[in-house]
Amino acid sequence: MNTLFEKFDQISKSPAAQLSAYKAQGKKAIGVLPYYAPEELVYAAGMVPFGMWGSNKKTISRAKEYCATFYCTIAQLAVEMLLDGTMDGLDGVITPTICDTLRPMSQNIRVSMSDKMPVIFLAHPQNRFDLNGLTFTVSQYTNIRKKLEEIAGKPITDDDIRAAIKVYNACHVQQRRFVKLAGEHPDVVTAVRRSAVLKAGWFMLKDEYCAMLKELNDKIEALPACDWPGTKVVVSGIIFDNPILLQIFDDYKIAIVADDVAHESRTFKTDIPDDADPMMALAKQFANRDHDVLLYDPQSSKNRRAEFVAQLVKDSGADGLVLFMQQFCDPEEMEYPYLKKELDAQGIPHIKLGIDQQMRDFGQARTALQAFADVLAVG
């Protein structure tokens, strides 16, 4: 089991090396920026979908020429890695535009990368539920399909997409299984290990990742029940993958038993439904995504998302919620008052921590998390 954890950890910490390894095998790779790009189409084309969610190691330098200072660091660091050559091994990049930062950033990437690689623009509809929304999504995905065919040098058949859908749905099952098992065995699946396992999935072909993850899940499932002496929390936010920050959870025995994180469970909680048309199936998956701060909710007046998060805390048996708020993320900042109102109404303790990927000093976060753990232990 430790060997598997070490493999996942190595991959999560060395995406550039992982990309180089795939290129050495003669594979083409496509960068996939947040959020909800149909990476199944990349897989169906026989290429490697490669997640780009910023970096905890990079400093922002060249990206300042293109990005406003109030862009979130995920966006700025994605541009930085493209500009400084870190991602030169990519054969193209998909740029979704689901928030106010990603929209202009996609054009920054198009301008700055036009001489290096194809840049594939993706505009998701917010009114995604009815036939018009589904049709628009299919049209966007069809454009991506055509661009990928040009890069791959071969057609992507419907059967190719159906096979990719099968692989991805099977992987979703194992990812959700891992999240559940991690919550049941925090003595073995530490916060640092949990993040590494989930993060590695962004840098691996899904069939390879799924096979490794299933093997790990089987081993964890065979362990005796864990009598956890610490506290249990649900984490929410866009991303929190810094090992130094995660180590604080482990130091104070704060177990992560579930998450509402865009970089983690929000990605794989919604399967791709059955449909005779595989492109429509992918569009329906996007339409079926729900309880997400980045997506339009026609019933927003009912505070459904806040209710969902509160219920997740209760269902998971957590003692409270830790909210990691990405600096300069307007959707999260605007949502927080409604989320806080619901958590307070249901008597759920929570703490809000502002973070970004340029943080190097976690002294305040350590103090806040230690105090929060003490409060939960007393409660």
Contact 232, 318 (CB under 8 A): yes
Examine residue 229 and state whether it is found in any structural domain, yes or no.
no
Contact status, residue 45 vs residue 148, Cβ threshold 8 Å? yes
Instruction: List b or e across 51-73, with b for residues whose CB sees 16 or more CB atoms inside 10 angstroms.
Output: bbbbbbebebeebeebbeeebbb
pLDDT (tens digit per residue) in 44-54: 999 999 999 98
Residue 173, helix vs strand vs coil:
helix
Q: HSE of 25 in the Cβ direction (CA atoms, 13 Å)?
A: 12
Does residue 134 form part of some domain? yes
In sequence order, the 6+-apart residues with CB closer than 8 A to the CB of 361 are none
Q: Report the relative pairing of strands 29-32 and 92-96 from DSSP bridges.
A: parallel
Q: State how far the Cα of 234 lies from the Cα of 258, in Å rounded to an integer.
A: 5
Average pLDDT over residues 29-54: 96
Q: Is 21 helix (H, G, I), strand (E, B) or coil?
A: helix
Decide if 196 contacts 178 (C-beta within 8 A).
no
- Cα–Cα dist 301/283, whole Å: 25
* Three-state SS at 342: helix
| Count: domains in the chain | 1
Q: What was the pLDDT predicted at 301? A: 67
Separation of CA 31 from chain center: 14
**302 pLDDT more than 80:** no
User: Which residues are within 8 A (CB) of 240 and not within 5 positions of it... i.e. 6 or more apart?
Assistant: 195, 246, 261, 263, 324, 355
* C-alpha radius of gyration, the chain, whole number: 20
Instruction: Could you list the beta-strand ranges (E) of 262-345.
Output: 320-326
Q: Is residue 268 part of a domain?
A: no
Closest by CA to 373, choosing from 249, 260, 227, 189, is: 249
d(CA 156, CA 349): 49
pLDDT in the model for residue 299 = 82
64 belongs to a structural domain:
yes
**225 is a domain residue:** no
Domain around 55: 25-157
In 48-130, which ranges are continuous DSSP H helix?
73-83, 102-113
Could you read off the pLDDT of 137-154 as tens digits, one per residue? 999 999 999 999 999 999
**15 falls within a domain:** no
Over the stretch 74-124, which tens digit does the pLDDT of each residue have? 888 888 888 888 888 999 999 999 888 888 888 878 877 878 899 999 999
Asked whether the beta carbons of 47 and 120 are under 8 A apart, the reply is: no
Give the mean model confidence (pLDDT) for residues 208-236: 97
Res 267: pLDDT: 96
Tokens 């999260």 found at: 332
Q: Is residue 258 classed as helix, strand or coil in its secondary structure?
A: strand
Q: Compute how many other C-beta atoms are within 10 angstroms of the C-beta atom of residue 367.
A: 11
> Quick one: DSSP state of residue 89?
T
Residue 52 placed within a domain:
yes
Contact yes or no for 30/96 (Cβ under 8 A): no
DSSP string, 216-228: HHHHHHTSPPP--
Six token digits for residue 253 = 């025995």
CATH number at residue 152: 3.40.50.11890
Tokens 């065979």 sit at which residue? 222
| Residue 50 or 332, more confident | 50
